[in-house]
Amino acid sequence: MKIIMLGAPGAGKGTQAKKIAGKYEIPHISTGDIFRANIKNGTELGKKAKTYMDQGLLVPDELVCDLVVDRVQQKDCERGYILDGFPRTIPQAESLDKALAELGESVDFAINVEVPDENIVNRMGGRRACVGCGATYHLAYAPTKTEGICDTCGKELILRDDDKPETVQKRLGVYHEQTQPLIAYYSKKGILKDVDGTMDMEAVFQAIVKILGA
Ligand code: AP5
Ligand code: MG
């Protein structure tokens, strides 16, 4: 099963992608997580990506497409995968489709998690990410057992650099301009599935499971 998660920044793509990956035992591939891991490790890719991410801009397609096309051809992706944060532009979607077509494959579902912009700003301000394992929490909606400490690995939680309110506004603008056109792109292919992302996390998850099937 090959799944794409679409939605604005903070819509809950990562939250749901992790749960889906667990249930269906397929890898969760987040381009944002890949870039953040590269930034943390000080790689060349990380250095390049950071200059765009900190401004709320998209990393150029040429730094993203090959990376994802390589990743989805690794052995653990044989039974499928869930892509979170990719594609984010029409050229990215086209490059994925082209690479899959060469393998005789195609995307099965594009899940569009719908959340209005007003709710997004509130969610991002409360999000906290672990510096160690990257796990994501929310001060109000997904709190940790001990404040400021990751439940999974015990490391410190931080506000992501790009979650500051002015950068969130920029990211929302970029989303509407460059990523939202993908909704029509996948709708035309007949694989778009809309989900109401304003429900609580478990209700959103159940709605997605209903679409994907048991
Ligand atoms: P990325 O890491 O993908 O960020 P994003 O798309 O902006 O999305 P987020 O991770 O911020 O939000 P999410 O939808 O995963 O929400 P989450 O589940 O955390 O990308 C970061 C940057 O990398 C980009 O800006 C770009 O520069 C670059 N990049 C990445 N991929 C790229 C690509 N393909 N091309 C070019 N550049 C790329 O949830 C948010 C918060 O809300 C959490 O605190 C969570 O606990 C809470 N929450 C989740 N669901 C609910 C719910 N139902 N109710 C209440 N709270 C909820
Ligand atoms: Mg995410």
As a whole number of Å, the end-to-end CA separation of the chain is: 12
Distance 104 CA to ligand 1 centre (A): 30
pLDDT given at position 135 = 92
Query: Which residues line ion ligand 2, judged by CB < 5 Å?
Result: 14
Euclidean distance between CA atoms 43 and 40, whole angstroms: 8
Euclidean distance between CA atoms 27 and 68, whole angstroms: 13
**157 - beta bridge partners?**
130
Task: Place 3 in a pLDDT band, splitting at 50, 70 and 90.
Answer: very high
**Angle of CA points 131, 209, 91, to nearest 5°:** 65
Average pLDDT over residues 193-207: 98
For atom 40 of ligand 1, the residue with the nearest CA is 10
pLDDT given at position 93 = 98
37-67: pLDDT as tens digits: 999 999 999 999 999 999 999 999 999 999 9
Average pLDDT over residues 2-16: 97
Contact 134, 31 (CB under 8 A): no
Put simply, whether the predicted model's pTM sits higher than 0.85 gets the answer yes
Residue of 31, 34, 35, 3 lying closest to 16 (CA atoms): 3
Euclidean distance between CA atoms 104 and 176, whole angstroms: 31
Distance 98 CA to ligand 2 centre (A): 25
Q: Is the pLDDT of residue 199 over 80?
A: yes
pLDDT given at position 168 = 93
CA 190 to chain centre: 21
User: Ligand 1 within 6 A of 58 CB?
Assistant: yes
Catalytic annotation, residues? 13, 88, 127, 160, 171
- Max CA separation in the chain (angstroms): 49
For atom 26 of ligand 1, the residue with the nearest CA is 58
Distance 207 CA to ligand 1 centre (A): 19
Average pLDDT over residues 132-160: 95
pLDDT given at position 161 = 85
Euclidean distance between CA atoms 60 and 89, whole angstroms: 10
Closest ligand to the CA of 129: 1
Is pLDDT larger for residue 23 or for residue 125?
23
User: What's the DSSP call for residue 158?
Assistant: E
How many Cα atoms occupy the beta-carbon half-sphere of 27 within 13 Å?
15
67-97: pLDDT as tens digits: 999 999 999 999 999 999 999 999 999 999 9
Sign of the alpha-carbon dihedral angle for 54, 56, 57, 62:
positive
159-184: pLDDT as tens digits: 988 898 889 999 999 999 999 999 99
**SS3 state at 187:** helix
pLDDT given at position 214 = 72
For atom 48 of ligand 1, the residue with the nearest CA is 12
